[in-house]
Amino acid sequence: MSEREFWPEGVERCELGKFLAWLGFISIFLLWGLYGAYKVLGTGIGVTALDNYFGFGLWITFDLAVIALGAGAFFSGFLRYIMRIDELKNIINLAVIVGFLCYSGAMLILVLDIGQPLRAWFGYWHPNVHSMLTEVIFCITCYCTVLIIEYVPLILENRQIAKNRFCHHLAHNFHVYMPLFAGIGTFLSTFHQGSLGGMYGVLFGRPFVYREGFFIWPWTFFLFVASAIASGPAFTMLCATFMEWITGRKLVSYETKKLMGKIAGLLLCFYMFFKIIDTYAWANGILPGMGLTFDQMYNSAFGYGKTWLWLELFWCGVIPAIMLVTPAVRERPALLYLAAILDCVGIVINRFVFTVQALAIPVMPFDQWFSYFPNWAEWSTSLMIVAYGFLVMSLSYRYLPIFPQERALNR
Amino acid sequence: MGLDRRSFVALVAGGVVGSLATPVVWKTLDDISIWSQNWPWIPRLRYGEESLVPSLCKLGEGAYGVQVKLVAGHPVAAYGNPEHPLSLGGICPLGAASVQLLYSPARVKNPKKRVNGAFVDISWDEAEALLAEQLKAAGAEVALVSGDDTGTAAEVLAGLVAALGSQESYFMPSEGAAAAAAVGLLGGDGLVGYDVEGANFLLLLGADALGSSGTMLRNAKAVAAGREQGVRVVAVGPVLTATAAVADAWVPCKPGTEGMVAMALASLIVESRPDGKVPGLADFRKQVAAFAPDKVAAATGVPVETLRSLAKELLSASKPLVVPGTAAGQGMAVSDAAAALAVNVLLDRVNVPGGVMLLPWGPKVVAAAPDQKTMLARDVLGYLAKVAAGTTSAPKVLLVHGANPAYALPDLKTAQAALAKAGFVVALSSFMDETAAMAHLILPDSLTYERYDDAYTPYGSGQANYTVAAPILKQPLFATKAAADVALSVAARLGKELGFASFEEVLKAKAEALGADFETAATGSVWLGSEFVPQKLSLAKVPAPGAPHGSETTVVAVAQPKIGSTKIATPPFGTNGISPRELQGKDMVVAMNKTTAAKLGVRAGDAVTLSGAGGECRARVRVFEGVVDGAVMAPMGLGHTAWDAFSRGKGANVFQILSAQADVGGASRFATSPVGVRKA
Amino acid sequence: MQQMEFKVKWGMVIDLDKCTGCGACSVACRAENNIPPMVDASNKLRTTDWMNIYELNNGKAFPHFEVAYLPRPCMQCGKPSCSTVCPVVATTKDEEGGIVSQVYPRCIGCRYCMAACPYHARYFNWFDPVWPEGMEKTLTPYVSARPRGVVEKCTFCHHRYNAAKEQARQNGTDPLDLPEDAYIPACVEACPSGAMVFGNLNNPEHRVSKLAATKYAFRLLVRLGTDPQVYYYSKRDWVRQLGDNYLQKELKGGEHV
């Protein structure tokens, strides 16, 4: 049996040697990251550039960013299975895999990031129900399980595996229950996206992130949900485009991409509207109440200038929001992609400033600003997760029928 | 094989429930939580009966009582001793780190001799035989440098040296010695103390009395208590010391001009009391005429109004007390101390409550030894300078005890050259300090907690006191031996009996000489003397005080017990206390104010080279407004080259750039000295 | 979360007009609580100092310049920002006395509490602790050695509180009504400057509650709502002003200080 027979039916893939060389290239990053992980787990998190001021750094930023960008999975699932937007079936498989990679990758990073990974399950055994992080632990682990359940039938659809009757039936059954899982996923994911925002919003000792809110949820709870669903679809669409660029094959119709862009655009408008109001209220309400000024929150000498704010809210916020809701822009692929990239970058900046800048700002009047820059141990392990994503995605693309339109588009 | 919906659900649910029903999952989780708190490489605690045992801390410049917590007989922590008059429950950072110092990696664990440049471990018998042989060969060409100016161990060692026919026994420089010398200049005699508790206006002329100088713990307690009763503290000096930080006022003066300030105050006091009846006043009037407030103001940088108001405060306070000193806790000019004492004399503040207390010298029990007064008056700097220059013959055997002259003396290269010229250097040191590292023989001294130790009336004490510390540990932790016992044993080998079989017996004799009960003293009860030496002080021969250095920039060395002392490098528990204000990375940090920095063309963070008369060192600039114009404040206690990783290679040793300048009667001052600053 | 009320509220008043910044409290704390020594402690963002000492200054130029030293233990906040966020209940404020606990075998090392604490009172074990050979014999029997990967902080020497309560029970007195000085932490005991006073803030007879009630007492960052149990004391306006953040216009009136 040749390797070709594992490919999805009726599609072309590159020759095996080339594919293996590609996997070899990915493995360089995987191995470097594994070495970093070995050092971290073997000797302690002290090998990173994290410290007692920056207890959160690249890893948490990375986690929050990929979880936001991975929101394409739950939100596309929600629209496809719950709201019945049928067009999305063309990209839903990709969204699921991207989501799975983002969430499983985030969990791998968390294994490194928490000081006692052997005790990670304490979140279930000794939960503090008042902590937003408990909710995050619950939801992320549960949702990761849901994503696995959503991913498994895709694997079972491999041409050879599907020949097995049991696997075939199993896959079929999974598919039947998919709307249920999509529903559970939507609930879990909405909650933990929100809880991640809530995690910061409740920190009343950190003026940069503290927010008032609704009932037990600070405004950041809702803003994080909104920003995640505003960037997730854009990211999924960009992933498809990126794969097309690498493979040289058409995978998703431009119509579907435009739809994803439109969804992202509408949500980004919604998000930016409230984010700007929130920022204004924070600068004029919360900060003065704490005896602080807006200017005190920024310090370009340490790398935390207002440039970040402009980038986040204007260049990567308002601008892509306008672009994505403008039909003429969506018609032009280059502009659509650019807007989607800006959208994603804006959300990443948001997660970065909430994670790192929040900790850099001195709160005690006699304290100082400090800078943080991640070191090799953090970069290598983060890149390892990216490489892991590339690896799984490459294998999935080669052997699983992810893109329903691929045959037709490449005819 | 088919799989319908029902069996699918059953498969998934059954799988999950089934695995949870087995003990595997739960047992594993339980084990994990146990493992993760019992890793074999994390040390376990040792439990047992707890007790508190009194002892002494002599790691800094003074000595005070501590209490050591024992758990199952092992020391675990040191606390202040509320019963001890010089601790009053307080402890210094070195004392707080003293128990852990027992296990310092820098400890010398057995005698060592140098063979072809490297140390070789030897037995105590061999070591003492070697020392006896060297001493025999040296005849009277033997010398001693000791840092233990409150303990009887130095007396035993000086007794041995004297028995061998040498008078070359010295203490390391100290404020106490300079203060006592000043008393001598005014015709008095005795150890110098201050009744800080009794004073209600404390004028500190340079003394960092709450931070590093004298009986600092007791001073701090007294000032804290006095604050609530309206006691005022004014600190005069070139830098904002720990004391100045909490004083009611800091009066900045140019480095080395505290004596001039005292003379200006004296002139104002004399002026306001034309009918004063102090012996020698007529001569003193002539002397202070040269220190009119306006002239002094120009030379010291202290405004005339400030001088006048200080004089007024001194005159109006019912119990004023003037305490001289330096931020370095040593290197004070005798003339400056004399000027401060003159102010106290003018105000009739000697041997009165709240005044300067002149206390009896410690009794001598080793017949052959020089007495305390003689020892304290000898000038180690002058001796070593002459040895280095070749004008005095180098000792064939140099005993160094409880001191680190290869690190902690001004004109360091000269001191090191003198040590290098000595034929055979014997370090009676507990640690591999810089002196031990260059010695020919190391006879490791036990630490106080492992042996007998004592302290008689440390400098600054308000009344005479004597503390005996019995060994806390039954055995020294390593193959170490009390230096005094080594001296007695070697004296016996040489047939020069000193009259005692053991150090314990010497201490018994000392207690007896003081009229103290040894047994009670050894269980922590401090002997207190109520005697003051009657004095007839005269102001006839008050010398002119130290003048400003005349250099564009002057280094001001600042002692901070948290970094270490002249005896002890930063202990393992001390590294965290060193702040970026003192050490950044591997660089010593020196502070200067904006004006000085601008004048020198340097900015905060710049690397600079400091050059003194005797050498150079590297530092980084900190801009700090708590330093007078033209002064460069440098932390002491850094820049060790021996010891262990906790102190070695961190910053620079400020003694490299401190140089001694001649003062009255052959004495010298070195707490501040001229320095050049250039960008590195 | 609702703020718990306690009958006994241990607190500290630190007189910044007396503290010389000598560092004895910090070393005493290290010995008492088995914090391992650090060979290189120059990166202050990586050191563990439950009692950390800050240098404050009045910002003026020579010769009007002044400094104050501010020792910073855990504030044992009435409304802790840290314990509420801990996902695994490894740090709580639920025991009579109002001390914020830290349970090392429970902590998973997520460092969320550290991100929450504006006082930087929490420290992470970046590596396993190392004592020079033999020095582990000087560990006190009071606080277990922490492995890497867990967060730790000042507990007001909670073991001393337990010991004092035990002593009271043996003496047949009320362990919830300890006399002044029956329980004081190692730092307060060590302080040579008499700058630190410790006691029950809810007991009007204790010196702490008297000092805390004076107009010279202040706390750090109360505007955030942390309600600390550590008070500072200074007669100097500029020192008290550095206890919290104030807008320019607020300082003109001076009513906050």
CA distance A318 to C18: 55
CB-CB neighbors (< 8 A) of A45 in chain C? 109, 124, 126, 148-149
Q: B interface mutation test: which of A52, A116, A124, A173 has the most B CBs within 10 A? A: A173
Give the model's confidence band at A181: pLDDT under 50 very low, under 70 low, under 90 confident, else very high.
confident
Tens-place pLDDT, residues B625-665: 999 999 999 999 999 999 999 999 999 999 999 999 999 87
Q: How many whole angstroms separate alpha carbon B175 and alpha carbon B455?
A: 16
How many angstroms separate the CA atoms of A342 and A238, rounded? 11
Give the Cα separation of C83 and C74 in Å (integer).
Answer: 12
Give residue limits of the domains in chain C. Answer: 10-253
Which of B2, B5, B36 is facing A118, going by the closest CB pair?
Answer: B36
Question: Which one, of C167, C176, C164, C163, lies nearest residue C6 by Cα?
Answer: C176
CA of A118 to nearest chain B CA: how many angstroms apart?
Answer: 7
Separation of alpha carbons B257 and B299, rounded Å? 8
Cβ contact (<8 Å) for A119 and B29? no
Q: Please report the residues numbered 209 through 238 in chain A whose beta carbons come closer than 8 angstroms to any beta carbon of chain C.
A: none
Lowest mean pLDDT among A71-85, A312-326, B151-165, C237-251: A71-85
Q: Is the pLDDT confidence value at C2 over 80? A: no
pLDDT score of B16? 78
**Which pLDDT band, with edges at 50, 70 and 90, does A341 fall under?**
very high
> What is the rounded distance in angstroms from the CA atom of residue B106 to the CA atom of residue B101?
9
Give the distance, in angstroms, between the CA of residue C94 and the centroid of all CA atoms in the same chain: 17
Q: C touches which chains (3+ CB pairs under 8 A)?
A: A, B
Q: What is the rounded average pLDDT of the residues B195-213? A: 96
Confidence bin at A357 (pLDDT 50/70/90): very high
* Confidence at C255, pLDDT banded by 50, 70, 90: very low
**Mean pLDDT for chain C?**
94
**Given an 8 Å threshold on Cβ–Cβ distance, is C108 in contact with A120?**
yes
Residues 152-171 of A with CB under 8 A from B: 165-166, 169-170
Peptide bond into C63 cis (omega under 30): yes
Residue from B455, B485, B486, B452 nearest B471 by CA: B452
CA B299-B301-B307 angle, to 5 degrees, is 95
- Test mutation, B246, B570, B592, chain C, max C CBs within 10 A: B246
For the domain spanning B554-679, the CATH number is 2.40.40.20
Q: For A173, which of B1, B8, B32 is closest by C-beta distance?
A: B8
Tell me which chain C residues have a C-beta less than 8 angstroms from the C-beta of B650.
42
Query: Would you call A364 and C221 a contact, using CB atoms and an 8 Å cutoff?
Result: yes
Mutation target vs B (from C16, C62, C88, C131; most B CBs, 10 A cutoff): C62
Task: Test B245 with C68 for CB contact under 8 angstroms.
Answer: yes
One-letter amino acid at B143 equals A
CA distance B45 to chain C (A): 5
Question: Based on the number of CB atoms within 10 Å of its own CB, is C5 exposed (0-12), middle (13-18) or buried (19 or more)?
Answer: exposed
**CB atoms near residue B212 (< 10 Å):** 31
How many angstroms away from the CA of C51 is the closest CA of chain B? 10
Q: Tell me which residues of chain B, numbers 45 to 74, contact chain C at a CB-CB cutoff of 8 Å.
A: 45-48, 50, 69, 71, 74
Query: Which stretch of DSSP H or E encloses residue B202?
Result: strand B201-205
Q: What is the pLDDT of residues B267-277, one digit of tens each?
A: 999 999 877 78
Chain A contact set for C91 (CB, 8 A): none
Asked if A54's CB is within 8 angstroms of C108's CB, the reply is: no
Question: Would you say B628 and B593 are in contact if contact means Cβ atoms under 8 Å apart?
Answer: yes
Contacts of A167 in chain B (CB under 8 A): none
Q: Which helix (H) or strand (E) holds B80?
A: strand B74-80
Q: Which of the residue ranges A243-257, B30-44, B445-459, B610-624 would you say has the lowest mean pLDDT?
A: B30-44
The pLDDT score that the predictor gives to residue C256 is 45
* DSSP track, B206-234: B--TTTTSSSHHHHHHHHHHHHTTT-EEE
Residues in chain B closer than 8 A to C68 (CB atoms): 245
Side-chain-side CA neighbours of B270 within 13 Å: the count stands at 26
Residue listed under structure tokens 């400056």 = B336
pLDDT higher than threshold 80 for residue A244 = yes
- Mean pLDDT of all residues belonging to chain A: 93
Interface chains of chain B (3 or more CB pairs under 8 Å): A, C
Q: How far apart are CA B662 and CA B271, in angstroms?
A: 31
Q: Where are the domains of chain B?
A: 5-35, 112-174+367-528, 176-359, 554-679
Kindly state the average pLDDT of the residues B249-272.
96
Which chain C residues are closer than 8 Å to B103 by Cβ?
131-135, 137-138
pLDDT at B22 (0 to 100): 80
Helix (H) or strand (E) holding C232: strand C230-233
Q: Could you tell me the CA-to-CA distances from B559 to B509, B570, B624 in Å, in that order?
A: 35, 12, 17
Average pLDDT over residues C139-158: 96
Q: Residue A258's pLDDT is what? A: 94
> Taking CB atoms and an 8 Å cutoff, what residues of chain C touch A133?
85-87, 110, 112
Is there a contact between C191 and B243 if contact means CB atoms under 8 Å apart? Answer: no
Q: What does R_g of chain B's alpha carbons equal in angstroms?
A: 28
Q: Which residues of B touch C32 (CB under 8 A)?
A: 77
Q: Residues C164-186: what's their mean pLDDT?
A: 95
Q: What is the mean pLDDT of residues B387-408?
A: 97
Question: How far apart are the C-alpha atoms of B131 and B134, rounded to whole Å?
Answer: 5
Each residue's pLDDT tens digit, B530-575: 888 788 899 999 999 988 998 999 999 999 999 999 999 999 999 9
Q: Is the pLDDT of residue B2 over 60?
A: no
By the CB < 8 Å criterion, does B89 face chain C?
yes
pLDDT in tens, C103-114: 999 999 999 999
Nearest to B79 among C134, C142, C189 (CB): C189
Nearest CA in chain C to A369: C45
A410 has a chain C CB within 8 A of its CB: no
CATH of C10-253, one of 2.30.300.10, 3.40.190.10, 3.40.50.300, 3.30.70.20: 3.30.70.20
Unique residue bearing structure tokens 């009657």: B534
Residue C254: pLDDT over 70: no
Residue with token string 């713990």: B217
Which one is predicted more confidently, A183 or C41?
C41
Does domain B176-359 fall under CATH 3.40.50.720? My reply is no
Taking only the tens place, the pLDDT of each residue in B296-347 is 999 999 999 999 999 999 999 999 999 999 999 999 999 999 999 999 999 9
Residue C17 contacts B where some CB pair is shorter than 8 Å? yes
Contact (CB, 8 A) for B467 and B56 = yes
The answer to whether the CB of B439 falls within 8 A of the CB of B426 is yes
The CA distance from C167 to the nearest CA of chain A, in Å, is: 32
What's the whole-number average pLDDT of chain B?
94
Mean pLDDT of A228-237: 94
Average pLDDT over residues A37-47: 96
Task: List CB contacts of B282: < 8 A, sequence separation 6 or more.
Answer: B540
In angstroms, rounded to a whole number, what is the distance separating the alpha carbons of residues B662 and B606?
33
Look at residue A214 in the predicted model and tell me its pLDDT. 86
Query: Does the CB of C44 have a partner CB in chain B at under 8 Å?
Result: yes
Listed by start position, the domains of chain A span: 3-409
Residue B575, chain C, CB below 8 Å: the answer is yes
State the Cα torsion A161-A167-A173-A177 to the nearest 10°.
Answer: -60
What ranges make up the beta strands (E) of C1-153?
Answer: 10-15, 52-57, 67-72, 122-124, 151-153
What is the sign, positive or negative, of the torsion defined by CA atoms of C219, C220, C225, C229? negative
Cβ-count burial of A315 within 10 angstroms (0-12 exposed, 13-18 middle, 19+ buried)?
middle
pLDDT tens track for A305-321: 999 999 999 999 999 99
Closest CA to B573 of B84, B105, B220, B210: B105
Chain B / chain C CB contacts < 8 angstroms:
224
Q: Which of B71, B227, B586 sits opposite C140 (nearest CB)?
A: B71
Q: Measuring CA to CA, which residue among B226, B160, B282, B240 is closest to residue B539?
A: B282
Burial B98-131 (b: 16+ CB within 10 A, else e): bbbbbbbbbbbebbbbbeeeebeebebeebbebb
pLDDT tens for residues A137-153?
A: 998 899 898 899 889 88
Structure tokens at A33: 């990251």
Contact at CB, A169 and B36, closer than 8 angstroms: no
Instruction: Give the residue-averaged pLDDT of B197-202.
Output: 96
State how far the Cα of B266 lies from the Cα of C81, in Å rounded to an integer: 58
Look at residue C257 in the predicted model and tell me its pLDDT.
41
CB–CB of B220 and C19 under 8 A? no
Amino acid at position B638, single letter? L
Please list every residue in chain A whose beta carbon sits closer than 8 Å to the beta carbon of residue C255: none
Closest CB from B3, B33, B35 relative to A173: B3
Give the per-residue pLDDT at B399. Answer: 98
Instruction: Render pLDDT for B469-491 as a digit per residue (tens, 0 to 9).
Output: 999 999 999 999 999 999 999 99
Kindly report the CATH number that applies to the domain delimited by A3-409: 1.20.1630.10
B112-174+367-528: CATH class: alpha beta
- Pairs of CB atoms within 8 A across A/C: 170
pLDDT in tens, C194-242: 999 999 999 999 999 999 999 999 999 999 999 999 999 999 999 999 9
What single-letter amino acid sits at B54?
Answer: P
In the prediction, which pLDDT does B559 show? 97
pLDDT of B376 above 80: yes
Helical segments of B496-561, H only = 503-514, 518-522
Say what percent of chain C tops pLDDT 90.
94
Residues 91 through 120 of chain C touching chain A, CB cutoff 8 Å: 106-112, 114-120
CA distance A361 to B40: 39
Max CA separation in chain A (angstroms): 73
What are the chain C neighbours of B44 within 8 Å (beta carbons)? 145
Contact between chains at B90 and C44 (C-beta distance less than 8 A) = no
User: DSSP string of B246-257?
Assistant: HSSEEEE--TT-
What would the pLDDT profile of B84-104 be if each residue is shown by its tens digit? 999 999 999 999 999 999 999
